[in-house]
Structure 1
Amino acid sequence: MKGQLVTAPTISTDIVTSSEDPFGPEVLHDPLPFQARLREAGPVVYLPTYNVYAMGRYSDVHAALTDWQTFECSAGVGLSNFRKEKPWRPPSLLLEADPPFHNAPRAVLSKILGARQLHTLQAQWATDADDVVDALVSSTLEFDAVPALAEAFPLRVFPDAVGIPHEGRERLLPYGDHLFNAFGPENALVQRGAGTIGEISGWVNDQCARNVLTPGGFGAEIWAAADRGDISHEQAPTIVRSLLSAGVDTTVHALAAVLYALASNSEQWVLLQSDPNLARRAFDEAIRLESPVQTFFRTTTRDIRVGGTLIPQGEKILMFLGSANRDERRWQNPDAFDLTRDPSGHVGFGMGIHQCVGQHVARLEAATVMAALLKRVKTIEVNGPVTRHLNNTLRAWESLPMRVTLK
C-alpha cells in the first residue's frame, strides 16, 4: 500500500501485507488515505504489526458482520483475544456475546429501546432540545458545537432516560473514551486514561444498582425484566452498564458529525430546511460519511477463505466500518454528504444480530436537536479550524467552531 505492500506466502495462497499502523496518530487523525489504500489492496490485508487480518471493502465487512457463526464476538470485539487474555472489565452481554448467551439481553433491550417505546420520550426531548438551543443562540451566535450541543444534549437527556442521578454524569465521557480506546492496542491513548479509569469505572458500576436508578427509566426496566425472569438478576447491572458504556460518546460524536456535515454543505442545510422530514436521513448519511465507530474486531471460529485468502481459525479480523461506508464499489460519490442519497445499508451501526441496539435512541436525539435548530437558525457554517479527538475506535471531535444566523 503506497509502496509498503509485499506479497507473503501462506499455506495455500499469497496474502497482501501492509506495515502501516491503523492505530498510529497520523492515520487516526485522517484515516481516509489509509482506508483507500486498504480497499485498493484487496479483500483482505494482513497487518503484521498486530497479527490481524484487515477488511476494508463493503461486501466483505458486511458479510463478516452478518456471519456471527464464523466471525464471533465472544472472543472480544477489540484487539485483545478473550480466549487467551483476561478482559480488563466484565465483557458486554450484548456486544461481546454470541447466541445463545446474547439472545435474552438483546431481546430485553430491543423492547426497552424500540422506536415505539421511545415515542413516549419524544415530546420531553423536543422540549429539552428547544431549551438547549434557545439558551445557546440567545447568548451567542458563535460557539463550539462540541461542548455546546453535541455533548450538552446527550448528557442531559440520555442519563435521565436511563435513570441515573445528575451528579457525576460528566464522568460518562472519559469512561466511554477509555472503553473505546481499550478496543485497540495498548498505546498512548489507552495510557492517558489508565490513571483514572479505576475510579470512574467504579462510579459507573455504582450507577447500575437497582436502588440508584429512577423508577420508569431504562435501567429500572432492565431490573424489572430480571424480576420477570427474562434475564437473571446477575445480568441486570451488566446490561445497564452496557447502556452507559456505549450510549453517550458514540452519540456525541455522531451528533457532531451531522452538525459538521450540515455546516460544511450549505446546499444540504437549505434542502433540510425545505423538508425537515429529512432530518433522520441527514443523520444516517452523516453516520455513513463519518462513521463515528470506525473499527471493530471479530475472531474466526474456523478456517475461512475470503477473496482467495485463507484466514485460519482463531485469528483476529479488524473490520474497518468507516472504510466500508466509503467504498466506491457500494456507494456512488461516497465522499459527498448528500441528502438525496438513500444511506440505508451503511454499517456505521454494525449489521446483523449485533447491530447497535440503541440506534433508535441516537436517531431521536439527533432529530430533536436538528428540529430545534431549524426553528431558530437561518444559516449555519463552520467558523474556524476543527479539531479531532484521537481515539483508537472512534472518529471523534474535540472542537467544532460554528457560526449561525437567526431567522
Structure 2
Amino acid sequence: MTRTIAVPNLALDFFSAESLAEPFADYAVLRDAGPVVRLARPEVHAIGRFVDVQAALRAPDVLISGGGVGFSDVFNAPKGMNVIQSDGDLHRRLRGTVTRPLSAARLREVRPELKAMIKTRVASLVGRGWFDGMSELARFLPVEAVSHFVGLPTVGRERMLEWAAAAFNLIGPNQDAADITSMREGFGFMAGLSEETVRDGSWAGELFASARAGRLSMQEAMAAISAYVIPSLDTTILAKGHLLANLARNPDQWAILRERPELAPAAVLEGVRRDSVIRWFSRVAASDYTVDGVIVPEGSRVMLLYGCANRDERRYENPDRFDVTRDARDHLAWGTGPHMCAGMHLARIEMEVLLEALLEADVKLEAGEPELGSNSGLYGYSKLPMRLECA
C-alpha cells in the first residue's frame, strides 16, 4: 500500500511587499517545510528545493506551460503564438525561430561589437565620481543591443523597459491598471512592426523576410520579435546590477578576478545563481505529479521558485556567499529543460564583456546602498550608487 504524504500548508505570502524586498528567509522556510507546500495566496502548490525545481522544469509533458505561466488571468491570457506559454510542437517551432540568430556562431560574430560598446561606456565612467550603476552601466548594453540587433524603429522603442517591467509585474496576483495599459501598449507597438519599419539585415528583418518567403507564418515572426524584447531587457539589466554589487561588496572576489580574469565566465554564472532575477514561473499539472513521494493533483497550478532553488544548501555549500571560484553551471536562474531561457547566451556574453571591460580598465569597484525594486516577477535593484576609480 502506497503511503500518501500530506502537503503542509504555509501562511507565506511571497507577493507581499516585505517578501518581495527580502525573500530569502521565506525561501528557507519553504525549503525546510517539505518538497511541496500549499500556499493560500496565490492558491498554488509550491516547489522550492533545487533538485525538485530542476526535475519539474524537465517534465514539460506533465507540468505544462500552455495553461499560462503566471499567477493572474491578465498575464496568462496572451497564449497561442507565445513562446513561454506554449507546449509540444508549437513551442519547439516557436523556440526554433527565436533561437536562430542566438546561436553560438552568430553571437561570436557580434561579441566584438558588444565589447567595443561597453568599453567606451566604462571609460566614460572611470574617475567620474558617483553614478547610478543601473541606469548608466547595467542598462546600457541590453538596451543598445536589443535596439540595434533586433532592428527596432527609433520611435517607440524608448519605452521598451517600461513595457518589459509591466509584463513581469503582472505575473503576480496584484494587478495594477497602469501595468495592464503599459503591457497592451507594448503589444500594440510590436503589432505595428513590419518589414518596412525595421532595419534591413536585422533579426526582425530576417524574420519578416522568412515570413514573406513562406518559411514561417507572420504570427510566428511576430511572436519571435516579442520574445526578443519583453523577456530579455530587465532580466539582463538586473542580473548585471547584482553582479556589479556583489563584486563591489566583496573586494576579495574582485581581487581574485583581477588575478585570474579567466574566471569571468564563472563569475557571471555565480552572480545569476546567487541573485536570481526571475523569482518564479508557474505550470499546470496535466496529470498527477509526484515530488519525493508527495502528490500534486491533476489540474493544480504549481509555483516553481527559481531564486529559492538557487539558494538551496542541499545543493550549494554556503549558498548565500558570492564565490567566483564556485562551479555554478547547473544553476536554475535561466531555467532548464525545453523552456530554458532562449536569450541566455546573449545575456552571458553581455555580462562577460562588461567584466572584461572593467578588468581591462583596471578599476576599483565601489557601491553604495542599492534601492530594491518591487516587481512581482523580478528580483533586482532600481538604483545602485557606484564609483569606478583607477586601482
Q: TM-score, normalised by structure 1?
A: 0.91
What is the distance in 2 between the residues matched to 1:21 and 1:313?
23
Shift of 1:47: 0.5
| Residue 199 (1) aligns with residue 181 (2) | no
* 2:150 matched residue in structure 1: 162
SS in 1 for 2:330: coil
Partner Cα distance (1:230, 1:69) in 2: 27
Gaps of 5+ in 2: none
Query: Is residue 93 of structure 1 aligned with residue 82 of structure 2?
Result: yes
Correspondences of 1:98-109 after superposition (within 5 Å)? 98-109=87-98
Q: 2:109 aligns with which of 98, 104, 120?
A: 120
Per the TM alignment, residue 70 of structure 1 is displaced from its structure 2 partner at its CA by: 0.7
Contact 1:104 / 1:231 at 8 angstroms: preserved in 2? no
Residues 67/116 of structure 1: CA separation in 2 closer, same or farther (3 Å cut): same
- Could you tell me how far apart the structure 2 residues matched to 1:286 and 1:35 are? 18
Describe the SS at the equivalent of 1:46.
strand
- Does structure 1 conserve the Cα–Cα contact (< 8 Å) formed by 2:62 and 2:286? yes
Aligned 1:386-401 pairs, distance under 5 A: 386-401=370-385
Provide structure 1 residue ranges, at least 5 long, that are not aligned to the other structure. Answer: 1-10
Q: Is residue 27 of structure 1 aligned with residue 19 of structure 2?
A: yes
Equivalent of residue 290 in structure 2, options 305, 320, 326: 305
Distance 1:376 1:86 in 2: 43
What is the 5 A alignment of 1:258-407? 258-382=243-367, 384-407=368-391
Partner Cα distance (2:252, 2:179) in 1: 40
Structure 1 pair 236–339 and aligned structure 2 pair: CA distance change class (3 A): same
- 1:88, 1:311 → 2: CA distance? 24
Count of matched residue pairs: 389
2:33 is matched by which residue type in structure 1? A
1:240 aligned counterpart, secondary structure: helix
Separation in structure 2 between the aligned mates of residue 199 and residue 233 of structure 1, nearest angstrom: 20
Helix, strand or coil at the partner of 2:219: coil
Q: Secondary structure at the match of 1:15?
A: coil
CA distance in 1, matches of 2:354, 2:164: 22
1:172–1:245 contact (8 Å) kept in structure 2: yes
Distance apart, 1:370 and its partner CA: 1.5
* Contact 2:48–2:308 (CA under 8 A) maintained in structure 1: yes
Q: Corresponding residue for 1:8? A: none
Distance 1:196 1:78, change over 3 A: closer
Q: Which residue number in structure 2 is paired with residue 18 of structure 1?
A: 10
1:178 aligns with 2:170: no
- Counting aligned pairs with the same residue, the percent is 32
Q: Describe how 1:113-152 pairs up with structure 2 within 5 A.
A: 113-137=102-126, 140-152=128-140
Secondary structure in 2 matching 1:280: helix
Cα distance in 2 between the residues matched to 1:13 and 1:39: 16
Deviation at 1:368, TM superposition (A): 1.5
- Deviation of residue 276 (structure 1)? 2.1
Contact between 1:205 and 1:241, CA under 8 Å: does it hold in 2? Answer: no
Q: CA separation of 1:393/1:29 partners in 2, compared to 1, >3 Å: closer, same or farther?
A: same
What residue number does 1:4 align with?
A: none
- In the other structure, the counterpart of 1:6 is none
Offset at residue 304 of structure 1 (A): 1.9
Change (3 A) 1:197 1:74: closer
Instruction: Return closer, same or farther for 1:36/1:192 CA change in 2, 3 Å cut-off.
Output: farther
> Is the 1:298–1:318 contact (alpha carbons within 8 Å) kept by the matching residues of 2?
yes
Asked whether the equivalents of residues 371 and 384 of structure 2 are also in contact (C-alpha less than 8 Å), the reply is yes
Q: 1:301 to 1:196 in 2, by over 3 A?
A: closer
Whole-angstrom CA distance in 2 between matches of 1:373 and 1:338: 18
Letter in 1 for 2:143: L
Q: What is residue 61 of structure 2 aligned with on the other side?
A: 69
CA contact (8 A) 2:83 2:94 kept: yes
Structure 2 residue corresponding to 1:226, chosen from 182, 207, 211:
211
* Segment of structure 1 superposing worse, 306-315 or 287-296: 306-315
Report SS of the residue matched to 1:54. Answer: strand
Per the alignment, residue 49 of structure 2 pairs with 57
Distance 2:21 2:181 in 1: 24
Q: Deviations over 1:206-258 (max 9, x none)?
A: 2x422221122221222234345442122211211111111111111011111
Q: CA RMSD in A?
A: 1.9
**Deviation, structure 1 residue 289:** 0.3
Asked if the contact 2:27–2:308 (Cα under 8 Å) also holds between the matched residues in 1, the reply is yes
Report the alpha carbon displacement of residue 92 of structure 1 after superposing the two structures with TM. Answer: 5.4
Give the CA deviation at 1:193: 2.2
- Return the match for 1:79 from 32, 56, 71: 71
Task: Answer whether contact 1:104 1:230 (CA < 8 A) is retained.
Answer: no
Once residues 79 and 392 of structure 1 are traced to their aligned partners in structure 2, the CA distance between those partners, rounded to angstroms, is 10
Secondary structure of the 1:338 match is coil
The CA deviation at 1:134 is 1.6
